């Protein structure tokens, strides 16, 4: 909505949403204008009619009295032809001067044209430049580092726009999935006094005269929450001071976690599989164009959505690595990236691996009495080298063992007294897991690097812009 006003200088202006005065002369189009989105045009909904469009100049080239512009808005790109004589001269001159990323409002007639990208073009009859962009710093073939320096501008690229749309669907699907299943959203503090996933990746924060840490996981607080709400979930920023510079690790990422009273390992494994299938289904429904643009094979994802995800044990995985890959991994060693990738050479869908060696697991993971060397825990691995997308477990109810494990790690057990209280007052079997939102988006979007799945990535080497 615009509000008309007359500023003191006597120039008629309109006030936009941000309370800024825009001279009327800058807006060829009146406030009641109905704006069309590019996607509607590409679907053939406006052929032969005159429409109004607003967006940004994606590309432009001129030859004499004709300018070919590619315009973009959030829904796509469209060719616009600006011919001298078809619009007021001032509009043509502005179009001539306008560099890429200038913002524009355009009136024109939609024509079908097989030669134009998308099969349609706009014959322009009116054009207003809202902001003349300065020469855009991002040109072709820039280095990844340069693009990260200019991230605030690079997120408008078509590639990142597509990934961010998929990400938005994924986030929406996670909320929908848990709410449909009767889960409550439950929030934990981001500033926490102690670790959940190992002290070595904690980010320390000055807290008045004391110190605290950024959350590595919502889990420990969720384990308190289930005694009120029984089934809870959350999606929140999660922090790990990862020392590794890999294409899978961020220092700040978003984890979608669930925790539920009365559930055991097999319940949460089934739920994690359901969740990933549900998310994939939503993305396939809402983001076909984006997946296509990103070079993802839609048919392959459809097949995965309709397939059962296998469950194997850690011990099985060592067997597969030995037999099929000739890799001899000593029992008890964690699976590294290389081993996960080689294992996944033999699966087309995500795979759940359960029962990792107890010794290398977090303090809260309980022993599996049926195979006491192992813990009641699981990871879900994605195919094609995208690695672990989900990690979870049943939770230990054995305070003595947990204290012992925490002491081994050099933790101050006093910090966990409140957590042990949860075992003292009506404890029940319970389980949960965390899904790495960026890992999942990377796999779905076929991204080369996890950095491209979050608007402003934070890594070992970067926390700007």
Task: Return the number of the residue (101 or 368) whose C-beta is nearest ligand 4AD.
Answer: 368
Look at residue 389 and give the partner it binds from ligand 4AD, Mg ion, none, a contact being a CB closer than 5 to 8 Å depending on partner kind: ligand 4AD
Binding residue for ligand 4AD (CB under 6 A) from 94, 101, 121, 197? Answer: 197
Considering the rule CB under 6 A, would residue 386 count as an interface residue with ligand 4AD? Answer: no
Determine contact, residues 460/312, Cβ cutoff 8 Å.
Answer: no
Considering the rule CB under 6 A, would residue 240 count as an interface residue with ligand 4AD? Answer: yes
Options 59-67, 116-124, 318-326, 387-395: segment touching ligand 4AD (CB under 6 A):
387-395
Task: Return the number of the residue (101 or 257) whose C-beta is nearest ligand 4AD.
Answer: 257
Considering the rule CB under 6 A, would residue 221 count as an interface residue with ligand 4AD? Answer: no
Which residues in 17-46 contact Mg ion (CB under 5 A)?
none
The whole-angstrom separation of Cα 187 and Cα 346 is 39
Binding residue for ligand 4AD (CB under 6 A) from 120, 392, 402, 406? Answer: 392
Task: Return the number of the residue (255 or 301) whose C-beta is nearest Mg ion.
Answer: 255
> What is the rounded (10 degree) CA torsion for 358, 360, 364, 366?
-10
Look at residue 253 and give the partner it binds from Mg ion, ligand 4AD, none, a contact being a CB closer than 5 to 8 Å depending on partner kind: ligand 4AD
Look at residue 392 and give the partner it binds from ligand 4AD, Mg ion, none, a contact being a CB closer than 5 to 8 Å depending on partner kind: ligand 4AD
Considering the rule CB under 6 A, would residue 452 count as an interface residue with ligand 4AD? Answer: no
Considering the rule CB under 5 A, would residue 457 count as an interface residue with Mg ion? Answer: no
User: Per-residue string for binding with Mg ion, 268-307, x by CB under 5 A?
Assistant: ----------------------------------------
Considering the rule CB under 6 A, would residue 149 count as an interface residue with ligand 4AD? Answer: no
Binding residue for Mg ion (CB under 5 A) from 55, 91, 391, 392? Answer: 391
Which residues in 429-448 contact ligand 4AD (CB under 6 A)?
432-434, 436, 438-439
Residue numbers at the binding site for ligand 4AD (CB under 6 A): 196-197, 217, 219, 240, 242, 249-250, 253, 255, 257, 388-392, 432-434, 436, 438-439
Residue numbers at the binding site for Mg ion (CB under 5 A): 391
């Amino acid at each position: 909505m615009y509000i008309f006003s007359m500023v003191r200088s006597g120039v008629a202006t309109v006030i936009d949403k941000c309370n800024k005065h825009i001279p009327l002369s800058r807006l060829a189009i009146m406030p009641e204008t109905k704006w069309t989105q590019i996607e509607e045009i590409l679907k053939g909904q406006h052929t032969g009619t005159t429409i109004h469009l607003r967006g940004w100049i994606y590309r432009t080239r001129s030859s004499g009295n004709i300018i070919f512009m590619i315009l973009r808005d959030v829904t796509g790109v469209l060719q616009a032809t600006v011919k001298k004589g078809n619009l007021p001269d001032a509009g043509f001159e502005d179009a001539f001067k306008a560099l890429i990323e200038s913002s524009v409002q355009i009136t024109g007639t939609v024509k079908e044209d097989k030669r134009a990208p998308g099969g349609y073009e706009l014959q322009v009859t009116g054009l207003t430049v809202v902001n003349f962009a300065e020469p855009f710093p991002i040109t072709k073939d820039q280095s990844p580092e340069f693009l990260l320096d200019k991230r605030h501008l690079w997120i408008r690229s078509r590639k990142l726009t597509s990934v961010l749309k998929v990400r938005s669907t994924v986030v929406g699907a996670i909320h929908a999935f848990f709410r449909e299943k009767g889960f409550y959203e439950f929030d934990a503090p981001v500033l926490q006094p102690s670790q959940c996933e190992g002290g070595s990746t904690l980010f320390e924060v000055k807290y008045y005269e004391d110190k605290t840490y950024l959350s590595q996981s919502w889990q420990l607080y969720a384990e308190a929450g289930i005694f009120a709400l029984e089934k809870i979930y959350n999606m929140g920023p999660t922090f790990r001071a990862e020392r590794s510079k890999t294409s899978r690790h961020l220092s700040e990422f978003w984890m979608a976690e669930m925790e539920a009273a009365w559930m055991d390992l097999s319940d949460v494994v089934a739920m994690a599989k359901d969740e990933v299938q549900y998310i994939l289904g939503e993305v396939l429904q809402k983001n076909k164009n984006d997946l296509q643009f990103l070079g993802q094979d839609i048919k392959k994802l459809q097949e995965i959505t309709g397939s059962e995800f296998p469950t194997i044990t850690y011990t099985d995985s060592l067997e597969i690595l030995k037999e099929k890959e000739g890799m001899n991994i000593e029992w008890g060693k964690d699976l590294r990236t290389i081993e996960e990738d080689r294992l996944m050479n033999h699966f087309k869908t995500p795979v759940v691996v359960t029962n990792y060696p107890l010794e290398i697991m977090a303090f809260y993971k309980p022993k599996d009495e049926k195979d006491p060397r192992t813990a009641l825990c699981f990871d879900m691995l994605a195919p094609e080298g995208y690695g672990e997308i989900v990690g979870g477990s049943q939770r230990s109810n054995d305070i003595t063992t947990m204290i012992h494990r925490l002491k081994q790690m050099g933790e101050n057990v006093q910090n966990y007294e409140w957590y042990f209280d949860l075992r003292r007052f009506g404890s029940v079997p319970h389980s949960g897991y965390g899904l790495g939102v960026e890992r999942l988006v990377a796999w779905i979007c076929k991204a080369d690097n996890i950095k491209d799945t979050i608007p402003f990535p934070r890594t070992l080497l970067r926390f700007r812009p």
